[in-house]
Amino acid sequence: MNFPVLTICLLAPLIAALILIFLPRDEERLHKAVAAAGTFTSLAISLYVYFSYNRELGGLQFVERIPWINDLGVSYFMGVDGLSLPMLLLTNLIGFSAVFASWNVKKRTKEFFVLLMVLVAGVMGTFIAQDLFIFLLFYEVVVIPIYIMVIVWGSSKRVTKEYAGMKLTIYLLIGSAFLLASVIATFVKSVQITGVPDMSFHGLGQVPFPEQFQIYMFLLMLIGFGSLLSMWPLHSWSPDGYAGAPTAVSMIHAGVLKKIGGYGLIRLAVYVMPAGAAYWAPFIAVLGIAGCAYAAMSALAQKDLKYLVGYSSVSHMGYVLLGVAALNSVGINGAVANMFAHGVMAALFFSMIGFIYEKTHTRWIPDLGGLARQVPRLAVGFMMAAMASLGLPGLISFIPEFTIFVGSFERFGLLAVVAIAGIIITALYVLRAGANTLFGPPRQEYDDLKDIKGPEMVPLVVLGAVLVVGGLLPSLLFDVINSGVEPIMAHIADYLPTAVQIGGGY
């Protein structure tokens, strides 16, 4: 085994959290510095991993595997492939930016950053774990800090923060209950079939599950991951949750946590249950399209900036589902890339809205206006996120969306057109929000607002740079993703006919 790069990447925020626990509670600057250092270490490592990953070779790299519970076939199994790499990088980009987006947190900074570090580490863990058990472990870990952070540092608008936090947590726990049931069933079934307990994704993937079983399990997994991905109609936690959460949590939640749903759907559900995926694909597509159109329409009716972005993220996740449902290389490539793109974009959006809220104490669009004059840099960040959201070419989200459209148009034809029409509605609400918030006559009450500067610029610089670079050089993203998607597609192609045959025998 090589140097345990991934473990260090995972531990860096946890060590930062540990250090934070022992710091005096009024050293606020120190807390931030430690948190920044922790996430920066992870970011640096994940950048190194991203760019030193051998794309020609593909497959799992930077593998670490230590047997843990032999009877259950559980091992501490870490590794990255083309699917997890972008997600790992995304987590750390957003984690790092989230620290700076929370630069002005005044209340209980120590606890805040401890929880934030745990959150970042937990999310990261789900993406690099190659063992289903470890994956679930991290998945459950992330829910708790989010709950605490929402109810302590959140804000109450349309709904109270307690309600928002509770809704978020319970929704995700119920989703994970479905997931857990399917995981246990899958594991037991796999032992019945092969006789060897193995919890790794790869191991489970090799098991020839009967078709009927796959169909049931896939549905459970779809509900589990779908509720995390805010699949319509399991999305209603998302706008409320984001609106209630503090900026950093909204960023991480919309940016990466949600993507665990999409990631899991591909990594676990599609990979292990290809026949189930084939069976449910049209259903997922319909839900995805419904999500796109429906959430975009709802977003159009919003007056609160965070709700707007909350609904918009539901809408964008519809595209991801559509890409997954296409079940072809192009569609899944697009889905993964779109998760990355949306993550960066949503995080930037939420951080900018967070700053606007911090400075003006309102997120209510009719109360805002003309901010472009008073806080130009903030306006630039906002507009960049807005433009990425409406899929402007040259920014990161266009190519993934295009790819999804190609993949899904090929498979679903006219059905996909509805989703593509979503780009018009997206343009409408995003531009309206931008126009009513940033442009128009400046308001006197905001004349002495201070533009973002110093540490506050970090989210804009980091995420904005990724938006542009990813838009101009999409191959940076797609080459990696493709190296991860191709084996999955090959695997599906290998297993689909056999699985169908087995199903036919029943």
Partner 1 sequence: MIEFAMHHAWLVPLLPAVAFVIIVFLTRPWPRLSSAVSIAFMLASFVTAALAAYGVFTDPHFKHHPLIYTVRWFGMQGLNIDVGIYLDPSSAMMIFMVSLVALLVQIYSTGYMKGDPGYSVFFSYLSLFAASMLGMVLSSNLLQMFVFWELVGLCSYLLIGFYSFKISAREAAKKAFITTRVADFGLLLGILAVQIIFGTLNFDELTQMAPNFENYTTAGMMTLIAVLLFIGPVGKSGQFPLHVWLPDAMEGPTPVSALIHAATMVVAGVYLVGRNMFLFAEVESALYLVAVTGAFTAFFAATIAVTQREIKRILAYSTVSQLGYMMLALGVGSLTASFFHLWTHAFFKALMFLAAGSVLHALHHKADVWEMGGLIKKMPITGWTFVIGGLAIAGIPPFAGFWSKDEILLAAYQSGHYFLFLLASITAFLTAFYMWRMIFLAFFGEEKPENHPHESPANMTVPLVVLAVLAAVGGLIGTPSTPLWQQWIYYGHPHHIEPNVIIMLSSIALAAAGIGLAYLLYVRDKEKTNAKDLARRFQPVYKLLYNKYYIDEMYQWFTRVVVDGSARITYLFDIYVVDGIVNGSAAITKGLGSVMRYFQTGKVQTYALVFYMAVLVITVVLAFTDASSSVLVMGGAE
Residues forming the site for partner 1 (CB under 8 A): 167, 170-171, 233, 235-237, 240, 294, 297-298, 300-302, 328-330, 333, 370, 372-373, 387, 390, 392-394, 398-399, 402-403, 405-406, 409-410, 417, 420-421, 423-425, 427-428, 431-432, 435, 438-442, 474-475, 477-479, 481-482, 485-486, 489
SS3 state at 415: helix
Q: Please confirm whether the linkage preceding 376 is cis (ω < 30° from 0).
A: no
SS3 state at 195: coil
Backbone angles phi, psi at 68, to 5 degrees: -125, -75
Please say which residue, 352 or 406, places its beta carbon nearer to partner 1.
406
CA 238, CA 365: separation in Å to the nearest integer?
20
Cβ–Cβ < 8 Å for 71, 194 = no
Minimum distance from residue 139 beta carbon to partner 1 (Å): 21
Token digits of residue 330: 């192009």
Q: Is 368 left (phi over 0), alpha (psi -120 to 50) or beta?
A: beta
Type of residue found at 486? E
Please say which residue, 35 or 245, places its beta carbon nearer to partner 1.
245
Please say which residue, 45 or 387, places its beta carbon nearer to partner 1.
387
Please say which residue, 28 or 304, places its beta carbon nearer to partner 1.
304
Please say which residue, 90 or 489, places its beta carbon nearer to partner 1.
489
CA 316, CA 310: separation in Å to the nearest integer?
10
Minimum distance from residue 297 beta carbon to partner 1 (Å): 4
**b/e map of 290-310 (b: 16 or more CB within 10 Å)?**
bbbbbbbebbbebebbbbbbb
Minimum distance from residue 504 beta carbon to partner 1 (Å): 29
Burial of 76: CB neighbours in 10 Å, binned 0-12, 13-18, 19+: middle
CA 36, CA 28: separation in Å to the nearest integer?
12
Minimum distance from residue 177 beta carbon to partner 1 (Å): 14
Please say which residue, 109 or 298, places its beta carbon nearer to partner 1.
298
Please say which residue, 14 or 458, places its beta carbon nearer to partner 1.
458
Minimum distance from residue 75 beta carbon to partner 1 (Å): 32
Minimum distance from residue 263 beta carbon to partner 1 (Å): 18
Minimum distance from residue 287 beta carbon to partner 1 (Å): 13
**b/e map of 19-44 (b: 16 or more CB within 10 Å)?**
bbeebeeeebeebbebbbebbbbbbe
Please say which residue, 132 or 352, places its beta carbon nearer to partner 1.
352
Minimum distance from residue 502 beta carbon to partner 1 (Å): 27
Q: Which residues contact 44 (CB under 8 A, 6 or more apart)?
A: none
Minimum distance from residue 404 beta carbon to partner 1 (Å): 10
- Determine the number of helices (DSSP H) and then strands (DSSP E) in the chain: 21, 2
Minimum distance from residue 330 beta carbon to partner 1 (Å): 5
The angle subtended at Cα 140 by Cα 75 and Cα 340, nearest 5°, is: 90
Minimum distance from residue 290 beta carbon to partner 1 (Å): 11
Which position has the token pair 């549905």? 219
Cβ–Cβ < 8 Å for 106, 355 = no
Please say which residue, 98 or 143, places its beta carbon nearer to partner 1.
143
Give DSSP secondary structure letters for 334-362: HHHHHHHHHHHHHHHHHHHHHHHHHHHS-
Please say which residue, 233 or 497, places its beta carbon nearer to partner 1.
233
Backbone angles phi, psi at 229, to 5 degrees: -85, 5
Cβ atoms within 10 Å, residue 267: 26
Please say which residue, 112 or 232, places its beta carbon nearer to partner 1.
232
Please say which residue, 136 or 308, places its beta carbon nearer to partner 1.
308
Token digits of residue 341: 């793109």
**How far from the centroid of its chain's Cα atoms is residue 477's Cα?**
16
Type of residue found at 141? V
Minimum distance from residue 301 beta carbon to partner 1 (Å): 4
